[in-house]
Amino acid sequence: MSRRYWIDDWRPEDATFWEETGAKTARRNLIWSIFAEHLGFSVWLIWSVSSAFLVAQGFDFTPSQLFFLIAIPNLVGSLLRVPYTLAVPKFGGRNWTMMSAALLLVPTLGFAYAVTQPTTPYWVFCVIAATAGLGGGNFASSMANINFFYPSAKKGAALGLNAAGGNLGVALIQFLLPVIVGGAGIFGLIKASDGGIHLERAAFVYAALAVIAIFAAFFFMDNITDAKSSPKEQLSVVKSKQTWIMSFLYIGTFGSFIGYSAAMPLLIKLNFWVPEPAPLGTGIYFAYFAFLGALIGSATRPLGGWLADRWGGAKVTLGAFIGLVVFTLGVLWTLMQLTPNPDATPAIAFENQSWFPVFLGFFMLVFASTGIGNGSTYKMIPSIFRREAELATTPGTAERETALAGATKRSSAAVGIIGAVGAIGGFFIPIAFNSPWVDNPLDATKSAFIAFTIFYAICALVTFVVYLRPQPAQVRELADVRI
C-alpha cells in the first residue's frame, strides 16, 4: 500500500508541532470529514421526509407503516456504528471515508428505483430503507477518526463541529428534498412544481455527491499510522462502566435528536394537517417546517462542545437534560390543547393550527437542548478516559505518555459504542409516536412525550450523581475535574 497518504509522525499534544504542522493538517481532514459525514446523515434521514410524500405518489401505506419505515434506518445505522468505528484503525481514516462514501450509492440508487415503481411492495421499501442505515454508520467512523487528529484541549470544539456538520445533513435533506422532488416550494414563496412529485431526483443528487466525496477523501485526507489498534484492544472499552453510563446519556441527547428529526415531518402532518400546500400564514404544511428542528439541533451542537471546553462537559450535559425536561413538558402541554384528528378533516386541522406556533417553539427548544447535550457528552468521553489514565499513572513518566496515547484510542473506540447505543433511541422514538395500543396518533404522541420527560429526568439525575456530586476525597475519581 502506498505511504503517500499515511502520517507516521503525529503529535497533537506537542504545542510546537501543532502550531507548525498539526493544526493545518487536522483542519483539512476535518473539513472533508464533515462533507462526507454530512452526506451520510442526509442519506440516513432521506426517508424521514420522503415517507410523507409516498401516499401522494400513489403508495397506500398507513401511518403505522410510515413511522416504521422512518424508524428502520435509525436501527440499522445505530448497529453499524460499532463496525464502522473498528474500521478506522483497521483501514485508516482516509481509506474508510472513501469506502463509506461509496456505500452510500446502495441506498440512494435503491431508493431511486423503488419510488419509480408503483407496484413496489412495502417489504421492499423496508429493505431499501434499512440500507439507508449505511449513512448512519458514517458518524461513528468520522468522529473516531477526527478524535485522533486534535489535542485534548480542542477536542470538544473539533468534535462538535464535525458532528454538527454531519447533523446538518438531516436539516438539509428535509429542507431541499421537497424542493428537489417538486412537492413544495420554499416556504411557499417559490411555487411548487406542477409536474408531480419525483422522489428519485433527490436520490440521484445524493448519489452524485457521494461520488464527489469519494474523490475528495482520496485527494485531501490522510491516515494516521499511530491510530492503528486491534479490534480486541478497541472493544476492551465495553468492560468500562463509563462507556455504558455515557451510552445511556447519549440515548437522551443524540437518540432524541435523530428520533425527533425522523418523526417531525409526520408529526406535523398528522396533527396540523391541511388538505393542500398553503401559502405561509394560511396553513400548516409539513414541508415548510420539518427541517427546522434538525437545523437548530445541529447548530447548537458545536455550542455544546464549546461550553463543555469552557465549563466542563458534565455541567453542560446536566443543563441540557434540565432543558429537555422543561421544554418537553411545554410540548406536552401544547398537545393537550389539540383536538384529535383521526380523519384529517380540514375543520379540525385548522382548529389546531392556532397552537402550532407554540408547539413549534417548544419543540425547537427541545432540539436546541439535544444539540447542546450532544456536544457536551462528546467532550466528556475523551476527558473521562484521559482522566482515568492520569489517575493510574505518575506525571512525567513514560508510563503516563503510553497511558495517554492508549486513552485516545480507547475514547475513539468508545465513541463508536456510545454512538451506536445512543442512536438506538432514534429507532424507538418514531415507534412510540404511533403505538398500536393507543386509539389515535395524538394520544400516542402525548403518551410518548410523558415517557420521554421521565427518561430525561433520570438522565439528569445520573449525570449529577456520577460526575458532579461532591464525594469524599478517598473515593473521588471523576467528579473532581471538569469532565
Residue with more model confidence, 179 or 253: 253
Is 342 a residue whose pLDDT tops 70? no
Range in 125-129, 153-157, 450-454 with the lowest mean pLDDT: 153-157
Query: Residue 189 — very low, low, confident or very high, per pLDDT cuts 50/70/90?
Result: very low
Is 246 a residue whose pLDDT tops 80? yes
Contact status, residue 460 vs residue 325, Cβ threshold 8 Å: yes
User: In this predicted structure, what is the pLDDT of residue 3?
Assistant: 63
Query: Residue 1 — very low, low, confident or very high, per pLDDT cuts 50/70/90?
Result: very low
Task: Write the DSSP assignment of 133-164 as a string of letters.
Answer: HHHHHHHHHHHHHHHHHS-GGGHHHHHHHHHH
Phi, psi (degrees; rounded to nearest 5) at 223? -105, 145
User: In this predicted structure, what is the pLDDT of residue 192?
Assistant: 43
User: In this predicted structure, what is the pLDDT of residue 438?
Assistant: 53
Q: What is the chain's mean pLDDT, rounded?
A: 83
Angle of helix 256-271 versus helix 441-463 axis, rounded to 10: 160
What's the CA gap between 228 and 457, in Å, rounded?
A: 39
pLDDT digits (tens, 9 = 90+) for 87-122: 988 899 999 999 999 999 999 999 999 998 888 999
CA-nearest of 13, 14, 76 to 47 is 76
pLDDT digits (tens, 9 = 90+) for 357-368: 899 999 999 999
Query: Residue 58 — very low, low, confident or very high, per pLDDT cuts 50/70/90?
Result: confident
- As a whole number, mean pLDDT of residues 220-224 equals 94
Cβ neighbour number for residue 266 with a 10 Å cutoff: 24
What's the CA gap between 47 and 427, in Å, rounded?
A: 13
Range in 141-150, 290-299, 340-349 with the lowest mean pLDDT: 340-349
Q: Which residues pair with 223 in a beta bridge?
A: 6
Is 29 a residue whose pLDDT tops 60? yes
Exposed/middle/buried for 301, CB within 10 Å: 0-12, 13-18, 19+?
buried
Query: Residue 459 — very low, low, confident or very high, per pLDDT cuts 50/70/90?
Result: very high
Residue 223, SS3 per DSSP: strand
Phi, psi (degrees; rounded to nearest 5) at 42? -60, -45
Task: Write the DSSP assignment of 245-271 as a string of letters.
Answer: HHHHHHIIIIIHHHHHHHHHHHHHHHH
Is 297 a residue whose pLDDT tops 50? yes
User: In this predicted structure, what is the pLDDT of residue 472?
Assistant: 55
Residue with more model confidence, 233 or 163: 163
Q: Which residues pair with 224 in a beta bridge?
A: 7
Q: At CA 130, angle to CA 125 and CA 136, rounded to 5?
A: 140
- As a whole number, mean pLDDT of residues 403-429 equals 83
Provide the whole-model pTM.
Answer: 0.78
User: In this predicted structure, what is the pLDDT of residue 103?
Assistant: 96
Percentage of the chain exceeding pLDDT 90: 38
- As a whole number, mean pLDDT of residues 299-306 equals 88
Is 281 a residue whose pLDDT tops 50? no
- As a whole number, mean pLDDT of residues 206-218 equals 96
Is 383 a residue whose pLDDT tops 80? yes
Cβ neighbour number for residue 225 with a 10 Å cutoff: 13
Place of cell 413549534: 360
pLDDT digits (tens, 9 = 90+) for 74-83: 899 988 988 9
Q: Up-side HSE of residue 134: CA atoms within 13 Å toward CB?
A: 22
Radius of gyration of the chain measured on its C-alpha atoms: 22
User: In this predicted structure, what is the pLDDT of residue 285?
Assistant: 59
User: In this predicted structure, what is the pLDDT of residue 435?
Assistant: 61
